[in-house]
Amino acid sequence: MESGVKKKIPVITPFINFFKNFHKRFKEGSLGTKLSHFIMGSGSFYHKQYIKAALYFILQVGFILFMVLCPEIKSSGTISLGYKAIVNLKDLGKSDVILDPIFDVAANGVLILLFGIITIGICFVYLFAWLSSIKSSYKADLDVKDDKKPTTFKEDLKSLLDEKFHVLMLTPTCLAALIFTILPTIFMICLAFTDYNTPSTSITWTGISGFFSEFKQGEIADYFLPVLSWTFIWALLATFTNYFGGILLALLINKKEIKLKKLWRTIFILTIAIPQFISLLAITKLLSPVGPFNMLLQNLYDWTGGLIGLEKPMEFLGGDGGGKYAAASVPVVKIVILVVNLWVGIPYTMLQTSGILMNIPTDLYEAATIDGANKRQMFFKITLPYIIFVTTPYLIGSFVGNINSFNIIFFLTGGGPMFEGSALTGQTDLLVTWLYRLTIENDKYNLGSIIGILTFMVTSAITLVTYRRSKAYKEEDTFQ
């Protein structure tokens, strides 16, 4: 457990400790350790760990050469890495404009930004290695102090399989995360503060004021609130309808009298097994004006003399086929999406809650029977509270998942029908599909990034609050 003082400033303490240790190493370390601060590997050399020393030294030389010589990536004209890349970050290469767009959609300004960030990333990796060279030298110092021999290179390699096993295992993931997640995320956050909204060759910083001015005028100012509110309504409705639908289905299948439980369950699992894009595309075609669903509605109309059903085929997913078919109003489209989402989601929840239903401690029911409770009471007093208690974290997870549920909207309506007077925002757009349309389809990267940041804020606020309160986080160790 953390101490009270630490808890108050959990963000700062690691930094203070870091500098304390840094100071200690420099003060108490041997000559080699001190030199290590300037020439990597000198500490290892001092302790006669020659291979290690050579590796560290080569790393440092390589880094310095990289920074000074500024290698230019061939495929992208004359945009360079190294120190020039960092200098270029200041005005995104305005002083040094090279109009040679090899990347089809890209602007050179964008690449300059990207290269700058990559260079900074490389600097961080270097700093990490630099620190590790000092640490390793200091560790050798301590070993000598304890009358032990400094570890040999072979021993170091061996320790990677034992006490340093986590280093070996986590390095690939960390590097991959740095290249494919962290740097790209930083890059996109930076784009929110630029004017990159057309596929042009140069961009400039617009800064904080540029970020906020998007909320005063333009696409975000006009449509952010409608899209956000529909995203929330969607996430709430989708989560709860799926959740209760799934529980009811699980209860139905788990009813004592129902035979062939496995068969029923398999029927519903089948729909999970089918790749989602196939089932969604299939449903889109099924619901199309020429598809069987519209046929069914028209047949119903004929049979019942106009009581139920439709007279004319309807475009359930937006659009009106040039007046040939009846257009569905926006609420109808939204309801259709929610219903299709039930089709997609219920089997999933059913599966998860069936497991839980079977695990409800039976003594609870026995005690209730002795106390004379009837079935309904048992359901509302035991089954339901138990399920809700156990699945709360899952419920929150699926709420966040639904905020980001891209596939359903993208495949069914593509976000449409569009708002009147806008070519970029649809009435069934969620934040993510809006983001997709703005960036990938329309190159409005600055707007897309702003939306991405806002989406992140929303989802992280929900998740962090609930995650930190969840038992799984607090009592992680008591589990084991």
Partner 1 sequence: MSEENLNINETQEEIVIEEEKVTKKYKSLKRAKKLSTIGAYILLIILSIIWIYPILWIVLSAFRQEYTDGILDTRIVSHYFPRGFGIENFRMLFAETRFIRWFGNTLLVAVCSCVLSTILVLSVAYCMSKLRFKMRKPFMNISMILGLFPGFMTMIAIYYVIKLFGLDETLGALILVNSAGAGIGFQIAKGYFDIVPNSLVESARLDGCTNFEIFYRIILPLSKPIIIYTALMAFTGPWMDFIFAKLILGANNRDIWTVAVGLYDMANGSQTATIGFTTFAAGCVCIAVPIVTLFMCLQRYYVEGVTSGAVKG
Footprint of partner 1 on residues 218-277 (CB under 8 A)?
Answer: 249, 252-253, 255, 257-258, 264, 266-277
The residue (of 16 and 296) whose beta carbon lies closer to partner 1 is 296
Q: How far, CA to CA in Å, does 366 sit from each of 69, 361, 375, 395, 397?
A: 78, 9, 12, 29, 33
Q: What is the DSSP string of 375-442?
A: HHHHIIIIIHHHHHHHHHHHHHHHHHHHHT-HHHHHHHTTT-SBPTT-SS-BTT--HHHHHHIIIIIT
The residue (of 34 and 444) whose beta carbon lies closer to partner 1 is 444
Q: Does 356 bind partner 1 (CB under 8 A)?
A: yes
> How many other C-beta atoms can be found within 10 angstroms of the C-beta atom of residue 26?
14
- Candidate residues 35, 436, 446, 447; the one interacting with partner 1 per rule CB under 8 A: 436
- Candidate residues 296, 308, 367, 465; the one interacting with partner 1 per rule CB under 8 A: 296
Residues 62-81 touching partner 1, rule: CB under 8 A, are 73, 75-76
Q: Is 340 exposed, middle or buried (0-12, 13-18, 19+ CB in 10 A)?
A: buried
- The three-state DSSP-derived secondary structure of 266-283 is HHHHHHHHCCHHHHHHHH
The residue (of 39 and 201) whose beta carbon lies closer to partner 1 is 201
Compute the least distance from the CB of residue 298 to partner 1, in Å. Answer: 8
The residue (of 60 and 455) whose beta carbon lies closer to partner 1 is 455
Alpha-helical regions (H) of 255-361: 261-273, 276-286, 292-303, 330-359
- Candidate residues 54, 59, 86, 188; the one interacting with partner 1 per rule CB under 8 A: 188
Compute the least distance from the CB of residue 165 to partner 1, in Å. Answer: 4
Q: Does 172 bind partner 1 (CB under 8 A)?
A: yes
- Candidate residues 281, 308, 388, 423; the one interacting with partner 1 per rule CB under 8 A: 281
Angle at 291 between CA 288 and CA 292, to 5 degrees: 135
- Under 8 Å between Cβ of 117 and 183: yes
- Candidate residues 183, 333, 337, 409; the one interacting with partner 1 per rule CB under 8 A: 183
Q: Does 137 bind partner 1 (CB under 8 A)?
A: no
- Candidate residues 15, 50, 124, 165; the one interacting with partner 1 per rule CB under 8 A: 165
Compute the least distance from the CB of residue 350 to partner 1, in Å. Answer: 10
The residue (of 40 and 350) whose beta carbon lies closer to partner 1 is 350
Q: Does 166 bind partner 1 (CB under 8 A)?
A: yes
Q: Does 201 bind partner 1 (CB under 8 A)?
A: no
Q: Which residues contact 248 (CB under 8 A, 6 or more apart)?
A: none
Q: Does 352 bind partner 1 (CB under 8 A)?
A: yes
- Candidate residues 343, 377, 381, 385; the one interacting with partner 1 per rule CB under 8 A: 343
Q: How far is the C-alpha of 66 from the C-alpha of 129, rounded, in Å?
A: 15
Q: Does 202 bind partner 1 (CB under 8 A)?
A: no
Token reading at 444: 């409005």
Compute the least distance from the CB of residue 38 to partner 1, in Å. Answer: 26
Q: Does 173 bind partner 1 (CB under 8 A)?
A: yes
Among residues 431, 429, 408, which one has the least CA distance to residue 418?
A: 429
Compute the least distance from the CB of residue 221 to partner 1, in Å. Answer: 20
Q: How far is the C-alpha of 241 from the C-alpha of 398, rounded, in Å?
A: 12
The residue (of 330 and 458) whose beta carbon lies closer to partner 1 is 458
Among residues 270, 396, 290, 259, which one has the least CA distance to residue 343?
A: 270
Q: Does 292 bind partner 1 (CB under 8 A)?
A: yes
The residue (of 38 and 479) whose beta carbon lies closer to partner 1 is 479
Q: Which amino acid makes up residue 420?
A: E
Q: Does 463 bind partner 1 (CB under 8 A)?
A: yes
Half-sphere exposure of 342 (CA within 13 A, CB side): 14
Q: Does 283 bind partner 1 (CB under 8 A)?
A: yes
The residue (of 31 and 177) whose beta carbon lies closer to partner 1 is 177
Compute the least distance from the CB of residue 275 to partner 1, in Å. Answer: 4
Task: Indicate the helix (H) or strand (E) that contains 211.
Answer: helix 207-213
Please give the size of the binding site for partner 1, defined by CB under 8 A.
105
Q: Does 193 bind partner 1 (CB under 8 A)?
A: no
Q: Does 85 bind partner 1 (CB under 8 A)?
A: no
SS3 194: strand
Compute the least distance from the CB of residue 31 to partner 1, in Å. Answer: 27
SS3 314: strand
Q: How far is the C-alpha of 120 from the C-alpha of 117, rounded, in Å?
A: 5
Residues 392-421 touching partner 1, rule: CB under 8 A, are 392-394, 397, 400, 404, 406, 410
Compute the least distance from the CB of residue 65 to partner 1, in Å. Answer: 19
Tokens 């120190």 belong to 83
Tokens 């035991």 belong to 382
- Candidate residues 123, 125, 131, 182; the one interacting with partner 1 per rule CB under 8 A: 182
Q: Which residues contact 211 (CB under 8 A, 6 or more apart)?
A: 192, 193, 450
